[in-house]
Amino acid sequence: MASNSRAQFSSKFGFIMAAAGSAVGLGNIWGFPTQTASNGGAVFLFVYLAMICLLAFPMLVAELTIGRYGQSDPIGSIRAVWPKGRSGAILLGLAAMITASLILSFYSIVAGWLVGSFAGSLFDIVGLTTASDWVNSFGPARNLTLMVTFMLLTMHVVKNGVHDGIELWSTRLMPVLFGLFAILIIYIFTLDGATEGLKMYLIPDFSHLSPKLVVSAMGQAFFSLSLGVGTIMVYGSYLSKDINIPKTAAQVAAVDTGVAIGAGLLILPAMFVAKAQGVQIFSEAGELLSSDTLVFTVLPAMFDTMGGAGLVVSLIFFLLMIIAALTSSISMLEVPVACAIEELNHKRSTAVAWIGGLITLIAAVIVFNFGALFGLVIEITTVYGQPILGLCFALLVGWVWSRNKLLEEIKQGYPELEKGLFWKIWPLYVRIVCPVFMILVFFA
Ligand code: TRP
């Protein structure tokens, strides 16, 4: 696909579902509840919400706008707003690409666990208990098999391009996921122990508040909205000009935050339900045990309470979760793939094959050095990479880009922009407040 015939999302709904599909994923259902549970509950929730409104939402608008203006892969789009900084644009684009790829490498491992839980339920239903035990065990061979399966799925969707791949999947399946979530939340509150989790989730204990918590909440907000690696920029470049960017960004942020809050409402009560059933969740000292795999322990415990129906519900649940992870992973892979297509003139299928293959290799290295690398890669990419790149994007929009061009770009699709509150606050906000805020939080 040459850059003069760029693909586009075909409808506003399709775009919102694709962007929400990118945003909603393991970050919401695995990352957010785990972080909330290990950071004292309600306090983390409140700081997280503040971070979404004060920092992540304005940055979402910034990244979308760069992308739609540039109509190109992230390197090309950054170059468009920063014509004098040719090598700077390449460097920044490359850094974004590498961060996106590294995020995908650990993401595919965790998503593989979902594939394992799904296959486990399937094997249980047909009575293959040995196979079920294997996919639910935790070893390098099992992790590798599941990760490769998930990477192949991701590569398959991205190979089909924007319209028939990304948009089609997101539009059909995201709404089903939301519905099932709602049903499970209602169900969990019929079980013993659930209200204890609700208390932890909603009643703040401010003794947990610390600079580290604020940094974690910022990282989580960036991760959850897929910011700081060019994902949103690429999706913005497929966005048609008649769409109101600030409004659409607000809708995407709202859907994503709604799902995160919902996931907390399910997982934290489920933790205490599991505890009431004798599953060890906390250590003697009250620390969360094995936080990486927490969700994969408490959810099956919940499904067990449902008797025979539990197997079917768990099958549907993990299938939808795999799809949620897939609509996120494809958005990560799209970043380097778009760069290879538009900067190196590769065919989409070629780009997907070599880049996907490389990321699978990196993920395999992590699988075989899990203890040393898994946490490290997560930390480097989400605690450092995303916020630092986000800061660069804010500086680009706030200081490098001409304000007139910025105004013109957002005005398409939002003609009354200058009359509203948004334009009075946001430009200055991205220029000063966001960068200062990020630097402060970072060095705290
Ligand atoms: N936001 C997604 C989630 O919450 C993950 C994701 C997709 C992502 N694209 C990204 C995270 C780009 C960081 C950067 O699961």
pLDDT digits (tens, 9 = 90+) for 207-237: 999 988 998 899 999 999 999 999 999 999 9
In this prediction, residue 2 carries a pLDDT of 38
Of 63-72, 148-157, 307-316, which range is least confident?
Answer: 307-316
For residue 223 and ligand 1, the question of a CB distance below 6 A is answered with: yes
Which protein residue's CA is at the shortest distance from atom 14 of ligand 1? 226
pLDDT band at 1 (very low <50, low <70, confident <90, very high): very low
For residue 332 and ligand 1, the question of a CB distance below 6 A is answered with: yes
Residue 28 CA: which ligand 1 atom is closest?
4
Rounded to the nearest angstrom, the gap between the alpha carbon of residue 196 and the centroid of all alpha carbons in its chain is: 28
Distance 322 CA to ligand 1 centre (A): 14
Closest CA to 158 of 376, 382, 323, 333: 333
Which protein residue's CA is at the shortest distance from atom 6 of ligand 1? 226
Of 226-230, 272-276, 277-281, 324-328, which range is least confident?
Answer: 277-281
Distance 97 CA to ligand 1 centre (A): 13
Average pLDDT, the chain: 91
For residue 219 and ligand 1, the question of a CB distance below 6 A is answered with: no
Which protein residue's CA is at the shortest distance from atom 4 of ligand 1? 27
Proportion of the chain above pLDDT 70, given as a percent = 97
Out of 1.10.150.120, 1.10.3720.10, 1.10.4160.10, 3.40.50.300, which CATH number does the structure's domain 12-443 have? Answer: 1.10.4160.10
Distance 25 CA to ligand 1 centre (A): 7
In this prediction, residue 213 carries a pLDDT of 92
Residue 25 CA: which ligand 1 atom is closest?
15
In this prediction, residue 3 carries a pLDDT of 41
Mean pLDDT calculated for residue range 137-162: 92
pLDDT band at 9 (very low <50, low <70, confident <90, very high): confident
Tens-digit pLDDT profile for residues 229-263: 999 999 999 888 999 999 999 999 999 999 999 99
Which protein residue's CA is at the shortest distance from atom 2 of ligand 1? 23
In this prediction, residue 278 carries a pLDDT of 84
Which protein residue's CA is at the shortest distance from atom 7 of ligand 1? 328
Proportion of the chain above pLDDT 90, given as a percent = 68
Distance 330 CA to ligand 1 centre (A): 10
For residue 32 and ligand 1, the question of a CB distance below 6 A is answered with: no
Distance 87 CA to ligand 1 centre (A): 27
Residue 329 CA: which ligand 1 atom is closest?
7
For residue 171 and ligand 1, the question of a CB distance below 6 A is answered with: no
Distance 275 CA to ligand 1 centre (A): 30
